[in-house]
Amino acid sequence: MFTTKFTQLKILGLIAITLMLSACYSDTSSSISGGYTELDRAIEQVVDQTIIPSVDSFQNASEQLYSLATRFCTTKNSENLSLLQDQWKAANEAWYRLLPFLIGPLEETDFLVTPAFWYIDSHRPRGNNNSATVRTDIDTMLADNKNITAAVFSSKSFEEVGLLALEITIFETAANEDQDNATILAEFITTDRKCEILAAHSAELLRRVDLVQAGWKNNYRDTGKSYRDLLVNKKLESTFTAGDPDSTGTPAFSRIVVSVQGYYDYLGKRNVTSNSANIAQSIWPALSQSAIITRELLTGTNNTTLSLYQLMNNGYQPDVAAIKANIDTFESTINDNNTTDMKAAAKVLDGNFKREIPDALNIALGINFSDGD
C-alpha cells in the first residue's frame, strides 16, 4: 500500500515538474552547437566520469563480496571471515559513493512498484531500522528445512535483503547476536544452513546491482538503450509515454541536483549514524565517501575539461568558495565522528543544492525539492 502510494505521488510530482519546467526552466549557459550547452557538456562529464564509475565500483565491490562469501563457505576459517567482513565494509563504502545519485536504474520499480535502491539499502526509503525484520527472517530460514533458492530470495521484501541483511549475517550470530568473530565462525561451522543464507543474500545483492549497472550502460527498461545515452542526449521524454516518471522532460542537471539534495536532506533528518552500518561499526568511512563524491561532482576529475565549479565561477566566486568550505566542514565532522555536527553540515549542503548551485548556474528549476524520503 505504501509503495503504491509513494510511486503515485512521485509520478504526480514529476508531471507537475514537467509543467513547471516548461514555464520556468531556463538555461542561459553558452550554447556550443545545436542546443548543446556548456552545462550539457559539464553534466555529460559528470555522468561519464563520476556517476557511472561509482556504479561500476559498487558492482565490482558486490561481485567481490559474492566471491568471498563463496570462498568462506568453502573454507570456513578466521582469515576468510575477516576478508569477508572487510569486503562488506568496502561494498558499503562504494554504495555511499553512489547513494547521492538515486536516478534512473536505481529508481526503476518492480511489479510491487518498489524502487530498486530499496532492495539495496532498506534504511534509505523511510529511515527505518529493519534489523529486527532481518533477524526474524534469518531465524525462520534456519529453523525450517525449505530449500534456499535464488527464486526464494528474489521474492523477499526489501526489508529482508540487501546490505543490512548481509551485515547481520556476517557480523553477528543468529543465536544471540554475539559479535565476537570466534563465536560467529563457530556458528557458521556448526550450521551449514547459515552459509546457504549468506551465499543466497550475496547472490541476490549482486543480481540487483548487475541490473542497475546494465540499465546505466546497456539496456534501460527494455529500450535497448542505456540510461546514460537517454539522459545525456535528452531522449527520455521521447522514449517514454506521458505519465511515466521518465517522460517528464526534466533536464539531466535537475535530476542529478534534486537527487543529491535529497540525499543531504536525508542525512540531516535521519539517524544514519546509529541505524546504518552500526553492527559493522563502519558508517563514518562510508559517509566519508559521500563527501568525496560530492566534491568530485562539482570539481570534476583529472579528465574533466569543464566542471560545474568552472561554470559557477562566472560571477559567483563567493558562493563557490562557501560551498567548498561547507563540503570541507561536512568532511571534518565525519572525521571527528560527530553526529550532531554532521547532520547540521548536511543541512547546509542541502540548502546549497536547493539554492546556491542552481542560482550560480543561472538555472531556474521551478520545482519543489525532495524531502529526502
pLDDT in tens, 117-149: 999 999 999 999 999 999 999 999 999 999 999
Q: Which of the pair, 246 or 11, is modelled with greater confidence? A: 246
pLDDT digits (tens, 9 = 90+) for 297-309: 999 999 999 999 9
pLDDT attached to residue 372: 52
Cell of 165: 541483511
Residue 112 has pLDDT above 60, yes or no: yes
- pLDDT given for residue 243 in this prediction: 82
pLDDT value of position 315:
85
| pLDDT tens digits, 319-334 | 999 999 999 999 999 9
pLDDT digits (tens, 9 = 90+) for 229-267: 999 999 999 999 888 888 888 899 999 999 999 999 999
Structural domains of the chain ordered from first start: 2-360 (1.20.1420.20)
pLDDT at 41 over 90: yes
Write out 254-293 in H/E/C secondary structure. Answer: HHHHHHHHHHHHHHHHCCHHHHCCCCCCCHHHHHHHHHHH
Residue 134 to residues 11, 96, 161, 353, Cα–Cα distance (Å)? 30, 21, 7, 35
